[in-house]
Amino acid sequence: MTISHILILFIGLIDIATSSNAYNDFFDEELMLKPLSSDHVYAYFQFTVIWETENRVETLQHSHLFPRGLGEIIGRHNVDELHVTLTEGLWNYQKWGYPFHDAGPGAEVIAWFNKDITNIEKEWKGLTNALAGLLCASLNFVDTSNSMSPEFTFRLTSVTDRPVNSSHLRYSSLPREIVCTENLTPFKKLLPCDSKRGLATLLNSAHIHNTNYHSIGIHFRSICRNVACTMTSLELRQTVSLIYDTIVDANQDWSIRKFFGMGLKGACPLATLSNIYVDISDNNTNHIYELTPLPSTKVVSLRGGQQNEIAVYDIRAHSSKGIFNIAAVHSAPKNNAIHYPSILYANRYIIGYGQERGSLVTKLYNNHWQALDIILLENIPWYLLVYLHSITITCNEQQVHPLAQRYLPGRERKSPYYLELILRLPPHSVTKITIDMDYLFLKWQEYPPDANHGFYMGPAIITALLPIARNYTALPFDGSTITSSFNASRDDYLVQLRTESLLISLPTPDFSMPYNVICLACTAVALAFGPLHNISTKRLVLKRIEKDWKGKLFSFFVGKLFGAKKKQD
């Protein structure tokens, strides 16, 4: 090899080493740890991939950091925006504030399809079936009987050049879906470093599924690449939300090793940003603790009238010496907690008795000194017959009229009941919404194996714009990472709340009666049929038994022996 060839090769290697990212994609991994006043710790993982390309089918088939399996599903079904969550537990808005991403119990899927798609139902069915295989979840049970297109609740956050109406939106929930390791494993395989390096190594199923609340989510959309928004990029956020209970420990010390069963070995080599944030705003007030090791830096965030102090840990800098662990060691017993209640929260329950009819009650609590406009979405299954004329909305024993109302009656086995209300909640008030309904008697094939357990009803969704950011942690619309929420004051703050999932007992036939009848009938037939059949088909015949030579010889000796004894007697 000549000297010129060596120089050319050396210059080429330098160009490769110093060149920018040829794939134009970036990966960030972040973890936020936030101690709560209720003796819980909120742990929020976010893995973000930003790909500077257009949302086209050809592009999504050749990716670098973006998971190809998910990209092919998005491209094949012409999805502009996608949100999938799998959640176990109920988020307590009154004590824990508002999460980064709200999710109801069970499984939820929200999808916006391309404006040029004509057969939305076909693409929706194909999308949910593909996601069911990708995440090992029961999303294949999503169909038109439990899907709807809300008009006000959801808004497209992706970049679009034309207005989109709700006809291209589909929303569905499966409140009975159980989240387990089978869902977490394929979720981690979508990450660039899998679960071998980086923050994903902390996602140990043994230490995640025993928390008070855990939720995994996949969020895809298109975002602006520059200020003028002349070019767009693809954004994929994979999130994990966990609530750990520290009250079981007498001194309430906590650490990464205690929560996740192991320390952090290092950052993902493909990550541009790899940080851990600890919210120490309540230190020296509700808690008095010391973080070890000391953080790389501290950030003071002022957002919507709320000030937070954040300790920032650079994983690469701290993990260079070995396994990295963050611990909070309390130096004094906990003081009386100072709890600032959330501005808006809700709960829901069923009243009535029997299995024929009942009433659905939803209560909305406004703790703010101003009136709040909210959107209430009710997704009522088709087997609960709802009567629109029975809706009553009261506040302080006074009738309240909705500002707007959308209602579509459900059809048996085809579509759910869709009810959407826009209400104005007075300051410091409790608004009660009641609606009567009847319980439908299903066909016997439509009952699950555990029919007496009951049927689940998905949560209601409350959407509002809060004037202040008290207990608010969500990212701004134009932000992609947790750092974008620091000092991100806006005129208002969008929040979505999910109520409880309800367990309803429908009229259920006595499925044990056929079993008892079958057992009794089979027993009677078995006992009666056999003897009757033998008597009617067989006859008794006397048969002379002839002895062989052994029997004759034995009888001869027996006769001689006993005959001699009789003569002597």
For residue 302, tell me if it sits in a domain.
Answer: yes
For residue 220, tell me if it sits in a domain.
Answer: yes
Q: Are residues 323 and 369 in the same domain?
A: no
Q: Are residues 298 and 382 in the same domain?
A: no
Instruction: Look at residue 424 and tell me whether its pLDDT is greater than 80.
Output: yes
Q: Are residues 48 and 132 in the same domain?
A: yes
Residue 155's CB is within 10 A of a number of other CB atoms, namely 13
Residue 169: per-residue pLDDT: 94
Residue of 192, 228, 160, 161 lying closest to 50 (CA atoms)? 192
Residue given tokens 């059949």 in the structure block? 533
| Helix, strand or coil, per DSSP, at residue 307 | strand
Give the model confidence (pLDDT) of 86-144 as tens digits: 999 999 999 999 999 999 999 999 999 998 888 999 999 999 999 999 999 999 999 99
pLDDT level of residue 567 (50, 70, 90 thresholds): low
Give the gyration radius of the chain's Cα atoms: 34
- Any idea what the CATH number is for the domain that residue 352 is in? 2.60.40.740
Q: Are residues 299 and 359 in the same domain?
A: no
Give the model confidence (pLDDT) of 24-60 as tens digits: 899 999 999 999 888 899 999 999 999 988 888 888 8
Q: Are residues 109 and 142 in the same domain?
A: yes
Q: Are residues 373 and 324 in the same domain?
A: no
Residue 355: per-residue pLDDT: 84
> Could you say which of 330, 359, 387 is where a domain stops?
330
For residue 137, tell me if it sits in a domain.
Answer: yes
Q: Are residues 291 and 414 in the same domain?
A: no
For residue 521, tell me if it sits in a domain.
Answer: no
Give the model confidence (pLDDT) of 207-239 as tens digits: 888 899 999 999 999 999 888 888 899 999 999
Tell me, rounded to whole angstroms, the distance of Cα 428 from its chain centroid: 32
Give the model confidence (pLDDT) of 457-487 as tens digits: 999 999 999 999 988 999 998 899 999 999 9
Q: Are residues 271 and 232 in the same domain?
A: yes
For residue 158, tell me if it sits in a domain.
Answer: yes
Q: Are residues 227 and 376 in the same domain?
A: no
Q: What percent of the chain has pLDDT over 70?
A: 92
What is the tally of structural domains in the chain? 2
The pTM score is 0.86
Tell me, rounded to whole angstroms, the distance of Cα 109 from its chain centroid: 9
For residue 249, tell me if it sits in a domain.
Answer: yes
Q: Are residues 299 and 350 in the same domain?
A: no
For residue 75, tell me if it sits in a domain.
Answer: yes
> Could you say which of 300, 330, 360 is where a domain stops?
330
Which tops the pLDDT comparison, 103 or 562? 103
For residue 514, tell me if it sits in a domain.
Answer: no
Q: Are residues 378 and 237 in the same domain?
A: no
The CA distance from 51 to 24, in Å, is 6
Residue pair 393/477 in contact by the 8 Å Cβ criterion: no
Instruction: Look at residue 559 and tell me whether its pLDDT is greater than 80.
Output: no
Residue 15: per-residue pLDDT: 41
Give the model confidence (pLDDT) of 313-352 as tens digits: 999 888 877 788 999 988 766 666 667 788 999 999 999 8
> Could you say which of 330, 355, 375 is where a domain stops?
330
Q: Are residues 307 and 381 in the same domain?
A: no
Three-state secondary structure along 263-306?
CECCCCCCCCEEEEEEECCCECCCECEEEECCCCEEEEEEECCE
Domain enclosing residue 71, as ranges: 25-330
